[in-house]
Amino acid sequence: MRVRECRSQAIEVDGARRQPQSHEVGATLEDAGPDASACQPGFLRIWLATLTAILCLCSYAYALDRPRVVSINMCTDQLLLALADPPQILGLSPYGRDRARSWAAEAAGGYPQLSGGAEEILMLAPDFVVSSRYTKRSTREILKTQGVTVAEFDSALTIEDTKRQIVRMGALLGQEGRAMAAIARIDSALVRVRAAASRTPFRVLPLARRGWVSGRDSLMSALLSAAGLVNASEELGFRSGGFASLEQVVMARPDFLLVESERDFAEDQGVALLMHPVIEKLYPRNKRLLLPEKLTVCGGPMLAEALDRLTAEIERVGR
């Protein structure tokens, strides 16, 4: 009897395949040689489990070779969450879980939320800390005097600023590939928004809670410009931003308002201006562009989504 192999527990005998009889199993494995054990399901399961464990351990060790980081600012939180491996993140700022303002709020829920004090950061012994230049100066100074490296980021005021910050964070984390992928997504969104850009440079007033408007030198203004729109706040004298009164908004008469959401009622005084009868009459739904605040508060990978939302809004009001 000539035995060639034992795939799927079948044997070939004199050119014909059939299932082995009970008295032939031992002979089949013996004749097939030492590799026949690989045909047994139990061996295959053990082999796959071992391989999976090895791959997981290698991946974890690879992540541990990279720096471990603490963020004490909401904007650096979002850069960190978008680019780092989970084992690299030791803790985030108190505002990282703010669902209204943080694009990565859901992801932030999986990491320790720090108070921002230097003592708890020192206990975590990070390789470095990331922060904005405007985050609690006393904390930053204490960390520096204790020998902790603090990488400080400026506010991103343009799309190019945002790209530079993504590249910088990627380099700090050893995640250059993810950084370049995030920039590629922003560039793709820019192509789409420019294709949909209004041929008429409509004047748009970004109006937020309590009448806050983003000024000429702001990330919001850069996004509007990319879409072929003009930030009307400059006419109100706001360079970086400021609070506009109802009278100022009415007198400016922008073509559109840009708001962060639609509301059916004013749940507090902060949104009362947006729902004033005069504003609602002059700017019904088809005169309002919707862009969630969490997509524009910080510069980061979320700009790709912000640009796509703006593209969709331009197409909606242009119908």
Residue 269 has a pLDDT of 66
Q: Are residues 60 and 77 in the same domain?
A: no
Residue-wise pLDDT tens digits, 155-202: 999 999 999 999 999 999 999 999 999 999 999 999 999 998 877 789
Q: Comparing 31 with 126, which gets the higher pLDDT?
A: 126
Answer yes or no: is pLDDT of 8 > 70: no
Residues 6+ apart with CB under 8 A from 267: none
Q: Kindly state the percentage of the chain with pLDDT values over 90.
A: 63
Answer yes or no: is pLDDT of 267 > 70: no
Residue 173 has a pLDDT of 97
Task: Choose the final residue of a domain: 165, 188, 211.
Answer: 188
Residue 3 has a pLDDT of 41
Which residue range is the domain that position 286 belongs to? Answer: 198-317
Of the pLDDT bands very low, low, confident and very high (cuts 50, 70, 90), residue 126 is very high
Residue 127's identity, in one-letter code, is D
Residue-wise pLDDT tens digits, 96-107: 999 989 999 999
Q: How far is CA 54 from the centre of its chain?
A: 30
The whole-number average pLDDT for the span 13-40 is 49
Q: Are residues 155 and 230 in the same domain?
A: no
Decide if 2 is inside a domain: no
The answer to whether the CB of 227 falls within 8 A of the CB of 196 is yes
Residue 44 has a pLDDT of 65
Comparing 112-121, 139-148, 310-319, the range with the smallest average pLDDT is: 310-319
Q: What is the mean pLDDT of the chain?
A: 84
Decide if 193 is inside a domain: no
Q: Are residues 275 and 206 in the same domain?
A: yes
Decide if 1 is inside a domain: no
Q: Strand order of the sheet with strand 89-91?
A: 89-91, 69-71, 128-132, 150-153
Radius of gyration of the chain (CA): 29
Is this structure's pTM higher than 0.85?
A: no
Answer yes or no: is pLDDT of 73 > 80: yes
Q: Are residues 77 and 180 in the same domain?
A: yes
DSSP one-letter string for the chain: --B---GGG-EEETTEEEPPPGGGHHHHHHHH-GGGGGGSHHHHHHHHHHHHHHHHHHHHHHHHTSPPEEE-SHHHHHHHHHHS-GGGEEEB-TTTT-TTT-TTHHHHTTS-B----HHHHHHH--SEEEEETTS-HHHHHHHHHTT--EEEEPPP-SHHHHHHHHHHHHHHHT-HHHHHHHHHHHHHHHHHHHHH--SS--EEEEB-GGGEEE-SSSHHHHHHHHTT-EEGGGGGT-SSEEEPPHHHHHHH--SEEEES---SS-SSGGGTGGG-HHHHHHS-GGGEEE--GGGTSS-STTHHHHHHHHHHHHHHHT-
Cα gap 133→177, rounded to integer Å? 26
Decide if 86 is inside a domain: yes
Decide if 83 is inside a domain: yes
Q: Comparing 64 with 154, which gets the higher pLDDT?
A: 154
**Total domain count, the chain:** 3
Residue-wise pLDDT tens digits, 228-266: 999 999 889 888 899 999 999 999 999 999 999 876 555
Cα gap 72→100, rounded to integer Å? 18
What CATH number is attached to the domain comprising 121?
Answer: 3.40.50.1980
Answer yes or no: is pLDDT of 17 > 70: no
Among candidate residues 165, 168, 142, the one with its CA nearest the CA of residue 154? 165
Residue 200 has a pLDDT of 78
Q: Are residues 206 and 184 in the same domain?
A: no
